[in-house]
Chains A and B, each alone.
Chain A
Amino acid sequence: MLAASPRLRAILLRVAQAIPVVMGVVVISFVLTRALPGDPAVYFAGVAADEASIEQTRVAMGLDKPLPVQFAHYVADLLQGDLGQSLSSGRPVATDLANRLPASLELTLTALIIAVVIAVPLGVLAATRPGTWVDHLCRIVVTAGVSLPTFFTGILLIYIFYYILGIAPSPLGRLDFIYLDPDHVTGFYLIDAALMGDWETWWGAAKQLILPAATLALFTLAPIARMTRAAMLTALSSDFVRTARAAGLSNRTVLYGYAFRNALLPVVTTLGMVFSFALGANVLVEKVFAWPGIGSYAVEALVVSDYAAVQGFVLAMALLFVALNLVIDLLYTAIDPRIGFDAK
């Protein structure tokens, strides 16, 4: 079976390659959080604490033990799915992440879908009609997208659509207080509400989502549009497109069947990179829109040296990236037949 399908083997190999990465992340996240300045024992013992009660907190938190022992405890807990207790929220980190990660993912994915839906056709149009108004529009959007910081576009959008026009709801979280949270199935409010058939809640969640998603989309749109345009231009000037045109194939076939599929490869690469940028850029957008996502959670945890929470965040992000890269690589194999065979 393994020998029979080189592509399947390449995929399994690719999955196996992710394992050492994850182990490395576990070690680094542990060491890094310990290297943070500040003494959590002092912080959590409270303002009025004396030497003795600080020491007591330190022992209670297990911070008096040597680092290798702490690490062994950490890994043992991790294997049981226990990410530890968040000291600031008082809840298990795993629960916190499960609550907040879907919020961030929902925001990022929606933004990314909006960006792709706009940027890819824009890039294709700009490449097929260089020098026309579409090309110039593409250039303006790209320049605007990269030069406007997300917190600025976020505030600008709130100012226009909430403050002046009043068509957007107040930028406070995922759902206005008049709605009840939908039952937790996936954690994605849009999906959960749709599963319940509660379209009023769905609409409420969508209204809350649209402004932060648009802010993030504007930021992610630029690199995708630019890469699509460049890749399409390269593909359109290639020899095989000339062959296709000389064979009398229709514009549509040449454009989509030949040029676009070849241009997809660099676009998918960019998409992967943009997704990781977007997860990083999330923090600012979440702050501006009071979005209860994972980014704002991590920043708060970092400020108070909340080890467990920061470690959990880093680990969750690393796993996300590993999964993302895996998906990108698998997409490659689906698009480009040459890849599965190149893997040794």
Chain B
Amino acid sequence: MLSVKDLSVMFQTRRGAVDAVRGVSFDVAKGEILGIVGESGSGKSVTSYALMRILDAGGMIKAGEATYSGVDLRRAAERDMRDIRGREISMIFQNPRAALNPIRKVGHQIEDVLRQHAQATRYDARGKAIAAMEAVRINDAQARFDAYPFELSGGMCQRIVCAIALACDPKLLIADEPTTGLDITTQKAVMDLVSGLIRERDMSSILITHDLGLAAQYCDRLLVMKDGLIVEQGDPAQIFGQPAHPYSRKLVDATPRAGASVRDLLPAEARSAEPRMLATDQPLVEVRNLTKTYAGKSGPVHAVRGISFTINRGQCVGLVGESGCGKSTISEMLVRLLDPTSGQIKFDGDDIAKTPARRFARDSRRADIQMVFQDATDSLNPRHTARQTIAEPLRRLARMRGNALTTRIEELAGLVGLPLSLLDRFPHQLSGGQKARVGIARAVALDPKFLILDEPTAALDVSIQAVVLNLLVDLRAKLGLSYLFVSHDLHVVRLLCDHVIVMKDGQIVEEGPARDVMADPKDPYTKSLIAAAPTPPERAGDTAPTQLETKNAQHLAVHDTRAS
């Protein structure tokens, strides 16, 4: 159906030509779902944009052929391409909220496509658009027709994007990271919906993702891309079971999965013995009846509803939940950037909630509680070098100057594995993993006792995530830190944490030792979270997962009620 031969794409930039895709060849058969897997910069998205001929300015197909049902996609006239886009080949994108026109009613956006491809007239467009919305299982499509994207949830926006893409019954659907940025249960709902519709309508599809587990679950065949080249292809079980290329092995290793330890994420040659953790029974942080209520436009919003938990010295506690469950509010209150409405936060026996957040910056305990933020890029000052960033807490809180400061910064850089030569670079000159290291170095600069990690690896590629997670494990052992690890990814939490707390709607629904919660969840919500995580095929060499864990992973998801 679609045949690509030696496709090369290059971008004309100020620093000269950059080859984004360097000769890739593949075919997509009718009814097949092809997965393209790779990390950022591998050229996987650019390949699909090139097929649709919607490359950004400066991008062009340098060489190769792309044929879709006999049409030469590279040379077809722009007018013919417009007929193909949306009608024959259509696309869904990541970040669905941004992918929709923010100031146009979603129903009209669907109508636009229908009318463009002469699938509807002015008179029946509305009805057909509503039908397209119902096809992607949007309840109450009549009312949602007049909604603007900002009035809908992320999962709902992605359904609208799907409705736009599928409105004209295309034969090939290209999904570019369709679930990045969505909650895990929403991700499952959207992916199940899309793959169901593809099978139902006998369409072909290309699923582009960085998540090997997701690709393996939904695709018939996988391509692994790196630096604009296809390094391996084959069926998912084979790629997972016996990855032939070192890079695909590295990717498979780095994918968090049931039964693997945090060291298993690293390439085999880089694995060292896991350090011994010294978790104690002495409580370091005791949270009692913590409540946070915001004044909303339509009455008070209860972000956190009286929760209590304890973090012991040297312990790592995982806080899991989906967006809006209150986990970020809790981490902000614990790090003392936000004042609770009521409740206590005992740190080392003292109630630190008594000191207002505004004054906590001058408190002597400021240095003891530090945070690593979610987005390594946004949480660094773009005009500060790595050295200045790490120096900031040392200068302000420890009053360090001169040689002592330089020595300490270099010591910290060594601790987090940041080459000294990179210290004088600005954030935009550093890679994602390096920025994460700078953020961690800044957080541990003052020898804190307690570190709050707010999804520190959410924006990173899996192979970098594996390295950063291992770094965090090593640091915890070396410095005797206690962690509160906030995440939506249960697999990652299980790798790092001794104890896990599952939150929903501002309340704790379940807590307990991480191993027990993962193996034998009691609460239906926890069960649905575990079931929603993609289940990559077994791979040889891992320690066999426990029976229970496997059983639960296959447990059917309780469908995301908010999204439907």
Contacts and interface: CB of A to CB of B under 8 A. Distances in A.
Of A245, A248, A257, most buried by chain B (CB within 10 Å of CB) is A248
A240 B102 contact: yes
Contacts of A335: 103
B119 to A, nearest CB: 11
Interface stretch (B82-90, B378-386, B466-474, B502-510): B82-90
A243 B103 contact: no
A237 interface: yes
B103 A247 contact: no
A344 B86 CA distance: 40
Given A246-B86, A338-B150, A253 B116 contact: yes
A240 B148 CA distance: 13
B37 interface: no
Contacts of A237: 56
A249 interface: yes
Given A243-B164, A250-B82, A262 B103 contact: yes
Contact of A239 (B83, B99, B104, B297): B99
Of A130, A239, A243, A244, most buried by chain B (CB within 10 Å of CB) is A243
A245 B93 CA distance: 12
Contacts of A183: none
A257 B101 CA distance: 9
B87 A248 contact: yes
B95 interface: yes
B101 A258 contact: yes
A337 interface: yes
Nearest to B113: A247
B103 A248 contact: no
Given A130-B57, A239-B93, A243-B161, A248 B84 contact: yes
B89 to A, nearest CB: 9
B533 interface: no
A136 interface: no
A238 B98 contact: yes
Q: Which bucket holds chain B's interface residue count?
A: 20 to 34
B164 to A, nearest CB: 6
B332 to A, nearest CB: 22
B518 to A, nearest CB: 36
Contacts of B83: 248
A261 interface: yes
Given A246-B90, A249-B112, A262 B102 contact: yes
A247 B86 contact: yes
B391 interface: no
Interface in A295-344: 335-338, 344
A242 interface: yes
A243 B116 CA distance: 14
B234 to A, nearest CB: 29
Nearest to B82: A248
Contacts of A244: 101, 112
B164 A336 contact: no
Interface residues of A, number: 24
Contacts of B7: none
B150 A248 contact: no
A286 to B, nearest CB: 39
A11 B102 CA distance: 21
B117 interface: yes
Contacts of A344: 297
Interface string B469-501: 000000000000000000000000000000000
B98 A248 contact: no
A247 B297 contact: no
B451 interface: no
A247 B110 CA distance: 10
A207 to B, nearest CB: 42
B297 to A, nearest CB: 6
A263 to B, nearest CB: 11
B103 A245 contact: no
A249 B103 contact: no
A258 B297 contact: no
Given A237-B56, A248-B84, A248-B87, A243 B112 contact: no
A145 to B, nearest CB: 27
B165 interface: yes
Given A240-B98, A240-B99, A344-B297, A247 B164 contact: yes
Interface string B39-82: 00000000000001010110000000000000000000000011
B98 A246 contact: no
B91 interface: yes
A261 B165 CA distance: 22
Nearest to B86: A248
Interface in B109-143: 112-113, 116-117
A125 to B, nearest CB: 15
Given A246-B52, A247-B116, A248-B117, A262 B101 contact: yes
B99 A338 contact: no
A344 B87 CA distance: 43
A146 to B, nearest CB: 26
A247 B98 contact: no
B84 A246 contact: no
A167 B365 CA distance: 80
Interface in B6-63: 52, 54, 56-57
Contact of A250 (B95, B99, B116, B161): B116
Contacts of A239: 93, 95, 98-99
Contact of A246 (B56, B91, B104): B91
Contacts of B56: 237
A247 B104 contact: no
B564 to A, nearest CB: 22
A333 to B, nearest CB: 11
A257 B165 CA distance: 18
B100 interface: yes
A249 B90 CA distance: 12
A246 B95 contact: no
Given A237-B56, A250-B116, A257-B112, A245 B85 contact: yes
A64 B90 CA distance: 81
B99 A242 contact: yes
Interface in A248-298: 248-250, 253, 257-258, 261-262
A220 B548 CA distance: 72
Contacts of A250: 82, 116
Contact of B90 (A247, A258, A262, A337): A247
Given A239-B95, A242-B54, A338-B148, A249 B116 contact: yes
Contact of A261 (B90, B98, B103, B116): B103
Contacts of A243: 91, 93, 99-101, 161, 164
Interface string B270-308: 000000000000000000000000000100000000000
Nearest to A233: B57
B244 to A, nearest CB: 34
A56 B87 CA distance: 89
Contacts of A262: 101-103
Given A239-B93, A261-B103, 5 more contacts: A248-B82, A248-B84, A248-B116, A253-B112, A262-B103
23 contacts: A130-B57, A239-B98, A240-B98, A240-B100, A240-B102, A242-B54, A244-B101, A246-B90, A246-B91, A246-B93, A246-B165, A247-B85, A247-B113, A247-B116, A248-B83, A248-B113, A248-B116, A250-B116, A257-B101, A261-B103, A337-B103, A338-B102, A344-B297
- What are the 4 closest A-B residue pairs judged by CB atoms, nearest first? A248-B86, A248-B85, A247-B86, A239-B98
